[in-house]
Amino acid sequence: MTGFEGANLAIDLLNITLLTILFVVAIAIARLRSLFAIVMLSGIYSLVSATWFVALDAVDVAFTEAAVGAGISTALFLGAMVLTSRTAKAEKGATQIVPLLVVIATGAVLIYATIDLPGFGDATSPANTGVGVEFLERTYPEIAIPNVVTAVLASYRGFDTLGEVGVVFAAGLAVTLLLGFGERSMGATVRREDRESSNKNDEDAS
Amino acid sequence: MIGAAAIALVIAIALMLIRALSGPTLYDRVLAVNSLGTKIILLLGVIGFLTGRPDFLDISILYALINFVSTIAILKFFRYRSFQVSLTRRGRGGPQ
């Protein structure tokens, strides 16, 4: 059993290390003013937190975090950065205190809420006594998908997932219209203006 | 043995983090992010072996793909200021 306990200790240490890295990156993001550095650091933040999710055994959440947080949103942030400036404005003193207080209050409320949670792996918790047991027993005989989460998402809750896909499609359409595709999109307009002004500069120079 | 590998990886991650935080130029930061992503992928594999579940390797391979694609996207973005340009296009801003 000592080997198992040693592995547990190592996992605890890894969790603490990953959380420390997340803390350092978050502080740096809050303090930096260069938007490019912030985009890069938020990519790091997503990747580290995805790893932490894997260590916590939430592999599906970790997949989403890695693909969306580290992959797509870095690209989207860069696309948005072209439309704005490269550095953020310096903040005034009062605006720095108020968000800190809000965050501390929210964190205290969340920690207070964890007191009422059932213990990890508790057999008498609502998740293990209510409808969850029913799903675990009936999923495989009914639709023969070994992963219960997939079965619930794609079959039992299929219409809900269809609606979610519609929402995500609309959001993606809005973002591409703003940033990317087509002659009249905001990104294309900014690029065209850039090109015209640089052409004018070239003519002036010659 | 695997614990030693994990410690070495954590130290490497800390060094990459320092470079990403302080890195004077843009390319320092891109390189730090890419290399930190590689270390994270390796750490994920090590965590898999620490907990006795080597199937984490599959997840880390997927992370490697995402890391590669996003680095290419960032660098392409800074070359062309757009994602719509094909990488082989010649002309303004492209390879002459």
**Residue B9 token pair:** 């990886």
For residue B31, the distance in angstroms to the closest alpha carbon of chain A comes to: 10
Residues of chain B with C-beta less than 8 angstroms from the C-beta of A40: 20, 29-30, 32-33, 74
Q: Is A8's pLDDT higher than 80?
A: no
Mean pLDDT of B18-47: 87
Half-sphere exposure of A70 (CA within 13 A, CB side): 34
The residue among B42, B31, B34, B88 whose CA lies nearest residue B66 is: B34
B26 touching chain A per CB within 8 A: yes
Q: Rg of the Cα trace of chain A?
A: 24
For residue A134, the distance in angstroms to the closest alpha carbon of chain B comes to: 28
In a domain, A194, yes or no: no
Domain that holds residue A36: 1-91
In a domain, A140, yes or no: no
Mean pLDDT of B17-41: 87
In a domain, A18, yes or no: yes
Which residue of B29, B55, B70 is the best one to mutate when testing the A interface, meaning the one whose CB has the most A CBs within 10 A?
B70
In a domain, A143, yes or no: no
At A45-70, the pLDDT tens digits run 998 898 888 888 888 888 888 888 87
Q: Is A165's pLDDT higher than 90?
A: yes
Mean pLDDT of B44-66: 84
Is the pTM value of this prediction over 0.90? no
Query: What is residue A20's predicted lDDT score, i.e. its pLDDT?
Result: 92
Closest CB to B20 among A44, A50, A75:
A44
Closest CB to A54 among B20, B47, B84:
B47
Look up residue A144 and give its DSSP letter: -
- Residue in chain B lying closest to A42 (CA): B33
- Average pLDDT of every residue of chain A: 81
Q: Is A116's pLDDT higher than 50?
A: yes
At A166-198, the pLDDT tens digits run 999 999 888 877 776 656 666 667 767 777 777
Under an 8 A CB cutoff, do A47 and B63 touch? yes
In a domain, A13, yes or no: yes
Would you say B58 and B48 are in contact if contact means Cβ atoms under 8 Å apart?
Answer: no
CATH number at residue A37: 1.20.120.1200
Half-sphere exposure of A124 (CA within 13 A, CB side): 0
Domain count, chain A: 1
Residues of chain A with C-beta less than 8 angstroms from the C-beta of B76: none
In a domain, A83, yes or no: yes
* Better-scored residue on pLDDT, A171 or A128: A171
At A67-111, the pLDDT tens digits run 888 778 887 888 787 777 777 777 666 677 888 899 999 999 999
Domain boundaries of chain B, sorted by first residue: 2-80
Q: Please give the single-letter amino acid code of residue A35.
A: L
**Among A residues 20-49, those touching chain B with beta carbons less than 8 Å apart:** 21, 24-25, 28, 36-37, 40-41, 43-44, 47-48
Which residues are paired to B86 by β-bridges? Answer: none
Q: How many helices (H) and strands (E) are present in chain A, helices listed first? A: 10, 0
* Better-scored residue on pLDDT, A86 or B61: B61
Q: Is A36's pLDDT higher than 70?
A: yes
Under an 8 A CB cutoff, do B20 and A41 touch? yes
- Between CA B34 and CA B64 the distance in angstroms is 10
